[in-house]
Structure 1
Amino acid sequence: MKTLTVITTTYNRDYCLGQVYDSLVRQENNDFIWLIMDDGSSDNTKSLVDSWIAENKIEIEYYYKENGGMHTARNAAYEKLHTEINVIIDSDDWMADGAVEKIITFWNENKRDDIAGMICQNADPNGNIIGSPMPKGIKECKFREFFGKLGGKGDKKLVYRSDLIKLNPFPEFEGEKFYPASYKYILLDQEYKMLICDEVVCIVDYNPDSMTFGKFKQYQTCANGFAHFRNETSKVSNEPKYILNQMLHYIAECKYAGIKHPIKNAHRKFYAALMLIPGNLFYIYLNKTKRKY
């Protein structure tokens, strides 16, 4: 059985998917599967993937589903996993040369039962690290700790154990095509740590139509999902500042979603009550603030 699954969820990305394929073909270590979850593409994605499967240069698993948004595609992809670990490479990014070898070697040398996965580096096409350098002298930490107390910033590449990433599927709300990916990571944080691997494993080339952009619009169009996310993740910490921030956003998202009794539905009712007026003011601010999307 292969060790690593490289997951790519895609929707009408035949124009850039080839760079993911080429980067995987260049890997010297072939101890991986490329799992492509097609989220309802209407372009030439399937015929393109069929041609790569026929070339038989790497092991590819291709699945098609009706369009439902990236989080639904990831849910479907996670269900198909049968390797020890996995990593997501977006359709407009590509794997760094030697990345498979680096991931598998580091994992085999450092894995433990209390470790959920690895935090690795992304770089831009010019080789510049995206975000902050790894914290010095730290070999492992919690996901939230990395981006909080340790000052980690920017887009990092996460490798997770497949048995754990299958837990806590992303909630799916009718008509909403986005749900925050960090939902799973934050919940796993309660029991597991992450290894810090200071190696570049992915090259990230941001496109204007990628999921990274348009987040402000998603707050409005995917309000039920965001409200659910803020409510559920408010339970993972007893830090008042963290809970207040979650409830501030929760109240605003409930306004967008038309949820009439946000305090009644809140896990942190006291904090939700404190944030009722600030949350409504935040909602007004979001509506009046001009953002690009």
Structure 2
Amino acid sequence: MKTLTVFTPTYNRANCLHKCYESLKRQKNIDFEWIIIDDGSTDNTKELVESWKKNDNKFEIIYYHKENGGLHTGYNKAIELANSKLCVCIDSDDFMPDDAVEKIIKFWNENGSNKYAGIMGLDFYINEECIGGRLPDKKSINLVDWAAGKYKCKLGDKKYVVRTELYKKVAPMKSFPNEKNFNPQYMHFELSKEYDFLVLNENLCFVEYQSDGMSHNMYQQYYNSPNSFRELRILLLSFSNAPISFKIRHAIHYVSNSLLAKQSIYDKRVKNKLLITIAIPPGYLLYKHTKNNVKKNKKYKSNTIDKFNDKTISKGK
């Protein structure tokens, strides 16, 4: 059994997946396996990975091709296949610093135990700037407290290294028909009901956001995957110790998600009916704003394509 599983869900990213591969080849500690979950790619991802597997990599590469289902289904399959103590996801357009695996394993060996879900580390932009700033100067933090602003630090993407046995307990994430935008952060919040994350204020991943990634087009994601986001809001609203501002914010989103999903606003899993009632007016406005935003973007894209076609035709191309 390896100490660490690095897993990478990917979809038509053969053009940039090599950055992740090359960074893993440079790792100072090779006590890891690399699992690539191909989420139905139609490019040459398979051929590329198969060529890499023939190299003397000094670490195992496991490739699995599946029907396209979204990032969360990639997580589900990777967690199922993982055979290690710890797991970390490195997206297909991201890559690890040369000493990241070494830092993770050393830090866990010195500080890890069954008391913790895993490690919360830092993501960096390519220009070496920390995304969202450093984490609190504490041994461990609770994810809900961090997201609710309790620690008075900036929010932003972080890197989660999770005990594999715990990932396997909360996976697989639920899937809804035709919805591909269920954020895997759901599992990390679910684990935070019982566990804190150790704080490692070190760069574990360089991130390069893509225009078609999950960090972009949020309104489109709300619109396309309302049941998935509704499940996330229900989970977040179940944390009784969260501050009222946190609850109000997610209650508003819950109302909007419910309307988009054409589901009842009063789900029996949401205990505070008064809070939901108060959130209905702003939740409805968010629902309308989401629909209008998506409609506007569709119209813009349609006009852009028409203009491009008109210019192409006029030039005889």
TM-score by length of 2: 0.87
- SS class of match (1:100): helix
Q: What amino acid does structure 1 have at the position aligned with 2:287?
A: Y
Q: Which residue number corresponds to residue 159 of structure 2? A: 157
Offset at 1:108?
0.5
Contact 1:27 1:100 survives alignment (8 Å): yes
1:246 aligns with 2:222: no
Output the CA distance in 2 between the equivalents of 1:29 and 1:275: 50
Output the CA distance in 2 between the equivalents of 1:77 and 1:134: 27
1:217 aligns with 2:224: no
Question: How many matched pairs?
Answer: 291
Q: What pairs up with 1:48-127 in 2 under 5 angstroms?
A: 48-57=48-57, 58-127=59-128
Summarize the Cα distance change of 1:281–1:124 in structure 2 as closer, same or farther, 3 Å threshold.
Answer: closer
Q: Which residue number corresponds to residue 139 of structure 1? A: 139
Offset at 1:112?
1.4
Output the CA distance in 1 between the equivalents of 2:68 and 2:292: 31
Q: Which residue number corresponds to residue 210 of structure 2? A: 207
- SS class of match (1:213): coil
Offset at 1:208?
1.3
Output the CA distance in 1 between the equivalents of 2:56 and 2:160: 27
The unaligned stretches of length 5 or more in structure 2 are 299-317
Output the CA distance in 1 between the equivalents of 2:16 and 2:121: 23
Offset at 1:64?
0.9
Aligned residue among 278, 281, 285 for 1:277: 281
Q: What amino acid does structure 1 have at the position aligned with 2:214?
A: M
Q: What amino acid does structure 2 have at the position aligned with 1:156?
A: K
Aligned residue among 151, 166, 169 for 2:168: 166
Contact 1:2 1:33 survives alignment (8 Å): yes
Output the CA distance in 2 between the equivalents of 1:223 and 1:210: 18
Contact 1:146 1:152 survives alignment (8 Å): no
Summarize the Cα distance change of 1:285–1:194 in structure 2 as closer, same or farther, 3 Å threshold.
Answer: same
Output the CA distance in 2 between the equivalents of 1:266 and 1:280: 20
**CA RMSD for the aligned pairs?**
1.7
Quote the sequence identity (%): 40
TM-score by length of 1: 0.94
Contact 1:187 1:236 survives alignment (8 Å): no
Please identify, of 111-120 and 279-288, the stretch whose mean Cα deviation from structure 2 is larger: 279-288
Output the CA distance in 2 between the equivalents of 1:9 and 1:68: 11
Q: What amino acid does structure 2 have at the position aligned with 1:91?
A: S
The unaligned stretches of length 5 or more in structure 1 are none
Offset at 1:245?
2.1
Can you list the C-alpha shifts for 1:82-129, whole angstroms capped at 9, x where unaligned? 100011100000011111101100010001111111111111222221
Offset at 1:181?
2.0
Output the CA distance in 2 between the equivalents of 1:244 and 1:257: 20
Output the CA distance in 1 between the equivalents of 2:240 and 2:185: 15
Output the CA distance in 1 between the equivalents of 2:69 and 2:293: 29
Higher Cα radius of gyration:
2
- SS class of match (1:12): coil
Output the CA distance in 2 between the equivalents of 1:40 and 1:287: 29
Summarize the Cα distance change of 1:65–1:247 in structure 2 as closer, same or farther, 3 Å threshold.
Answer: same
Offset at 1:33?
0.3
Contact 2:29 2:99 survives alignment (8 Å): yes
Can you list the C-alpha shifts for 1:135-156, whole angstroms capped at 9, x where unaligned? 23x1111112233211242111
Contact 2:8 2:36 survives alignment (8 Å): yes
Q: What amino acid does structure 2 have at the position aligned with 1:275?
A: A
